[in-house]
Amino acid sequence: MEGTIDKLNSEISDLKNKLTDKEKAIRNSVVPVNNESEAFPEVEAEESGTEANKNPSKLFDKLQFILTSANRQTGLPPFTKKEVRKQIESRGGNVETFESMNPELTTYLIADTFYRTHKYLTALSLSVPTVSFKWIEKCVEENKLADYNDFMLDAGENEFTKEVYKWKPLKGKILVGKKVAGYSRRGAPATKNGIDFCQIWRPVVVNLGAELVKYPTKIERAVKFFKNKDTTDYFIADDGTPQELIDAVTEGSGIPVTSEWIIQTIITGILAPTSGYESYILPTN
């Protein structure tokens, strides 16, 4: 009897030892609940590839930007183009001019408010979105492309009514079917960027859908050319234009207009009036 009892006690002891070993194994296999980052590394790896954690160096990849600002007598100073340029280029974007831009890439014009600069007006004529520099800051802050529509700048302000007009797509629309000629007096000084009157406005009217009229360079022949009916619809010229040329355009049923006329046409998105506004029309005899 004693032998049987000893054997049973031995078996019980063995079972206890086995249970103790299993408990230790189970405890070692359980991951502490306060260490979730180690428990789910696959999830973190997947999230690191989402847009929210996009590689900062590629944030503006395949996008191009044109920057513009101007000194104004009142109000806050414009944004710092140098800093915005750095933010864009360090994240894969390109800062270009309209002359160097790639027409195949998505383009944005960046400013702090609406302007009457060559770049701003050209952007409007090409239907390029005019966006606040705060959009760039938002994208950099969140490390993803925010909706630029929330940062759109207006087209500009009407010279007379002071009404502010919203941005609208204009490319190939306002001057469709219109024949437009541009003229600048010989020797007219170029802008500080080296662009003269015709270099500014001829491409803009083409952007708006106009047919650009080519005419003789000599005044005598140009006068004869414009006297013909329906040669041109609008004749955009500066204040140094010879009076005989302006009168010839009028005789040929064309309308001689100033650059302010085309500026207001771009800002408002409709053809500016050509009567009752002296600043829009070149004087005729």
Asked, for residue 160, whether it belongs to a domain, the answer is no
Domain that holds residue 257: 179-280
Residues 273 and 210 in one domain: yes
Return the percent helix, strand and coil in the chain, to nearest 5.
Answer: 40, 15, 45
d(CA 25, CA 19): 10
Please give the single-letter amino acid code of residue 270: I
> Do both 147 and 78 map to the same domain?
yes
In a domain? residue 38? no
Same-domain pairing of 200 and 241: yes
Q: Is residue 172 part of a domain?
A: no
Claim to verify: residue 66 and residue 140 sit in the same structural domain: yes
- In this structure, the answer to whether residues 247 and 192 fall within a common structural domain is yes
Tokens representing 124 are 């409007």
Q: Return the closest-CA partner of residue 271 out of 251, 247, 249, 255.
A: 255
Q: Where are the alpha helices (DSSP H) in 75-117?
A: 81-89
Tens-place pLDDT, residues 103-119:
999 999 999 999 999 99
Is residue 200 situated within a structural domain? yes
Taking only the tens place, the pLDDT of each residue in 158-170 is 989 999 999 999 9
Q: Report the C-alpha gap between 39 and 57 in whole angstroms.
A: 30
pLDDT in tens, the chain (285 residues): 444 545 545 555 565 555 455 444 434 433 333 333 322 222 222 223 334 345 677 899 999 999 998 876 555 666 889 999 999 999 999 999 999 999 999 999 999 999 999 999 999 999 999 999 999 999 999 999 999 999 999 999 998 999 999 999 999 999 999 999 999 885 555 555 557 889 899 999 999 999 999 999 999 999 999 999 989 999 999 988 999 999 999 999 999 999 999 999 999 999 999 988 889 999 887
Q: HSE on the CB side for 73, CA within 13 Å? A: 0
Question: CA 83 to CA 285: how far, in whole Å?
Answer: 52
CATH number (domain holding residue 249): 3.40.50.10190
Which DSSP string do the residues of 195-210 spell out, in sequence order?
--HHHHHHHHHHHTTP
Helix (H, G, I), strand (E, B) or coil at 103: coil
Q: What pLDDT score does 78 carry?
A: 67
pLDDT tens digits for 252-276? 999 999 999 999 999 999 999 998 8
Into how many domains does the chain fold? 2
Domain boundary among 136, 153, 170: 153
